[in-house]
Amino acid sequence: MKQKRSLIESFNNAIEGLIYVLRTQRNMQIEFLLAFLVLILSLFLGIQKLEFIALLFAAFFVLIAELVNTALEASIDVVATTYDPLAKIAKDVAAAAVLLSSINAIVIGIIIFHDKLNAWTVDLVKALRSPNKLYITIVSLFTVLILVIVVKTFKGQHSFLKGGWISGHSALAFSMLTAIVFATE
């Protein structure tokens, strides 16, 4: 007979599952980061309550689809010890669910953010061409540097200065080039 688990143990198991997927699945890491950034961005763009709910549902739909995809893949790997075309179909269909949920999230994001980002981008370009160019350049460079460090830490990379999923040198160089382009008219 199975021993009854407490509610805390159930939550702990669920959190362990989430942490496992975040540590082992590259796509989940990207989707989690993008969902976080979209929700943070929504705070600064004056998103209405229903728009925020739509963004929240779209983001969680992608994350849940990725969790189910990972669980299904792990279950299939336990059962299928050799190549099985039906196992491949099951894995491909689960991956398609993630793809469709991601497309859904992108479309919802475009619909909600298009007008707001367009106006915000125009204001940002005007601000970047203002007399505070040095201040904005310094803040931008430090922001890029911090983001590189955060992403490399999140990815578990041991070297912050060479190679990896994101190149700090390339990111800083691009940031400097962008600052130069905006500084010159």
* pLDDT tens digits, one per residue of 84-123: 999 999 999 999 999 999 999 999 999 998 888 777 777 7
Lowest-confidence range among 6-10, 107-111, 121-125, 127-131?
A: 127-131
Q: What is the mean pLDDT of residues 149-174?
A: 70
> Who's near 157: CB < 8 A, 6+ residues apart?
164, 165
> Who's near 184: CB < 8 A, 6+ residues apart?
none
Q: Which residues are marked as active site?
A: 66
Mean pLDDT of all residues belonging to the chain: 84
